[in-house]
Amino acid sequence: MCGIVGSINHHNIVPDLLEGLNQIEYRGYDSAGIAVIGEHGLTTIKRPGKLKQLETYLSTTPLSGHAGIGHTRWATHGIPNEANAHPHSNDQVSVVHNGIIENYLQLRQWLTAEGFTFNSETDTEVIPHLITLFLARGLPPTQALHEALNHLDGAFALGVLFKNDKDHLYAARRGSPLVLGKGLQGLSLGSDTMALSSSVKEILYLEEGEQACLGRDVFTLFDPKGKPISREMQPFDQEREDNGKDDHQFFMHKEIHQQVATTRDTFHHTQHCLLDIPLDFEQFQRLTIVACGTSYYAAMVAKYWFEQIAKVPVDIDVASEFRYREPLLSKNGLALFISQSGETADTLAALRYAKANDQTILSIVNVAGSTIARESNISLQTQAGPEIGVASTKAFTAQLAILAKLAIHTAHYRKVIDVKEVKHLLNEMNALPGLIDITLGIEDQIKVLGASIKDAKHAFFIGRGINYPLAMEGALKLKEISYMHAEGFGAGELKHGPIALIEPGTPVFVIAPDDSLLEKTLSNAEEVAARGARCIIIGNQASIRNLPEGMEHLILPPCDNRLSPILYAVALQLIAYHAALALGTDVDQPRNLAKSVTVE
Overall size of the chain counted in residues: 600
Residues β-bridged to residue 180: 189, 204
Sign for the pseudo-dihedral over CA of 548, 552, 556, 557: positive
CA–CA gap between residue 283 and residue 290 (Å, rounded):
20
Q: For residue 228, what are the β-bridge partners?
A: 222
Residue 148 DSSP SS3: helix
Task: Report how far residue 329's alpha carbon sits from residue 588's, in angstroms, rounded to the nearest whole number.
Answer: 39
DSSP string, 111-143: HHHTT----SS-STTHHHHHHHHHHHTT--HHH
Choosing from 46, 254, 477, 595, which is the catalytic residue?
Answer: 595
% helix, strand, coil for the chain, step of 5: 40, 25, 40
Give catalytic status of residue 595 as yes or no: yes
Label the pairing between strands 3-9 and 67-73: antiparallel
Which is it for strands 534-539 and 552-555: parallel, antiparallel or unpaired?
Answer: parallel
Q: Report which of 366, 373, 394 is spatially closest to residue 264, judged by C-alpha positions.
A: 394
Estimate to the nearest angstrom the gap between the alpha carbon of 71 and the chain centroid.
18
3-state secondary structure 35-86: EEEECCEEEEEEEECCHHHHHHHHHHCCCCCCEEEEEEECCCCCCCCCCCCC
Catalytic-labelled residue, pool 2, 213, 292, 559: 2
479 is catalytic: no
| Geometric angle at alpha carbon 221, from 220 and 223, rounded to 5° | 150
Pairing mode of beta strands 169-174, 154-162: antiparallel
Task: Enumerate the active-site residues.
Answer: 2, 595
